[in-house]
Copies of this chain bind each other. A is one copy, B any other.
């Protein structure tokens, strides 16, 4: 019943927390996608912080690579006062800590209606001019990246040079994205989308895994149904690390999530 995405982030209550089953469908390279793990953590925090359903901010520190299979999530409320609540969460497998996180939750639907966005929204080519990332991936590459089956990703033509041997060098990858199972976006799936695109380092000509050290996502509004416009960008690759900013806008053109991560650069 329901959507695949909800089944793969589902939790079982236990005496001291939650159990999750990390789905092999979210594997990318050697590990489980960090955005999917954020959504699992975010789901556990939503259960813990009843009445404050939405992640305003979630900061995750990645300690070791997760593998498909059972995982445990523990949560602890740090402060629950007024309109927001702050809590800790840990995701572990066996005796090994995978992620430690902090988050502040509240009710996005209860926020005032003022919108004074001053930034220029990023432009993405119309979907009919974009390139279906999954459909163009060679079969042997797809086998190593099952997460590409989880969503529909249409990349802007300006963002696919890396796949053709001509990365732009701008450090930007953008396009349109939605879950492949037909589930509409919500604040929890926005946590996943903020780490779903290929690393921006691909667009700098550096291929390979870019393990996240830290990722903070701010969810700013409940997304409207439909495709999300999404952009990954970096400006500073130095000392073997880079920052990766992700912005997503909903079908109504409203910014709905902003994230930044610090990741290790691939050797390239």
Asked whether any CB of chain B lies closer than 8 Å to the CB of A2, the reply is no
Contact across chains for B214 and A104 when beta carbons are under 8 A apart: yes
The answer to whether A111 and B255 touch (CB under 8 A), given A100-B88, A214-B104, is no
Q: Which stretch in A11-19, A116-124, A174-182 binds the other chain?
A: A116-124
Contact across chains for A218 and B235 when beta carbons are under 8 A apart: no
The answer, among B59, B220, B238, B240, for a CB contact under 8 Å with A238, is B220
Docked Cα-Cα span, A250 to B117, in Å, equals 30
Contact across chains for B239 and A255 when beta carbons are under 8 A apart: no
User: How would residues 71 to 84 of chain A score, 1 for a CB under 8 Å from any chain B CB and 0 otherwise?
Assistant: 00000001100001
Asked whether any CB of chain B lies closer than 8 Å to the CB of A165, the reply is no
The answer, among B88, B108, B111, B216, for a CB contact under 8 Å with A214, is B216
Residue of B nearest to A168 (CB): B118
Asked whether any CB of chain B lies closer than 8 Å to the CB of A94, the reply is no
The answer, among B100, B218, B237, for a CB contact under 8 Å with A116, is B237
Which residues of A229-259 are within 8 A (CB) of B? Answer: 234-241, 243, 254-255, 258
Contact across chains for B57 and A114 when beta carbons are under 8 A apart: no
Contact across chains for A108 and B239 when beta carbons are under 8 A apart: yes
Residue of B nearest to A216 (CB): B216
Asked whether any CB of chain B lies closer than 8 Å to the CB of A86, the reply is yes
Asked whether any CB of chain B lies closer than 8 Å to the CB of A260, the reply is yes
Docked Cα-Cα span, A78 to B111, in Å, equals 35
Asked whether any CB of chain B lies closer than 8 Å to the CB of A262, the reply is yes
Smallest CB separation, A95 vs chain B (Å): 12
Find chain B residues with CB under 8 A from A57 CB: 61, 213-214, 262
The answer, among B56, B117, B171, B239, for a CB contact under 8 Å with A112, is B239
Contact across chains for A238 and B79 when beta carbons are under 8 A apart: no
Find chain B residues with CB under 8 A from A103 CB: 61
Asked whether any CB of chain B lies closer than 8 Å to the CB of A10, the reply is no
Docked Cα-Cα span, A100 to B258, in Å, equals 21
Find chain B residues with CB under 8 A from A61 CB: 57, 59, 78, 86, 102-104
Contact across chains for B118 and A237 when beta carbons are under 8 A apart: yes
Contact across chains for B117 and A238 when beta carbons are under 8 A apart: yes
The answer to whether A236 and B255 touch (CB under 8 A), given A86-B63, A97-B79, is yes
What are 5 A-B residue pairs whose CB atoms fall within 8 Å in the complex? A56-B241, A78-B100, A86-B100, A117-B236, A119-B234
Closest 3 A/B residue pairs (Cβ)? A119-B235, A111-B239, A59-B59
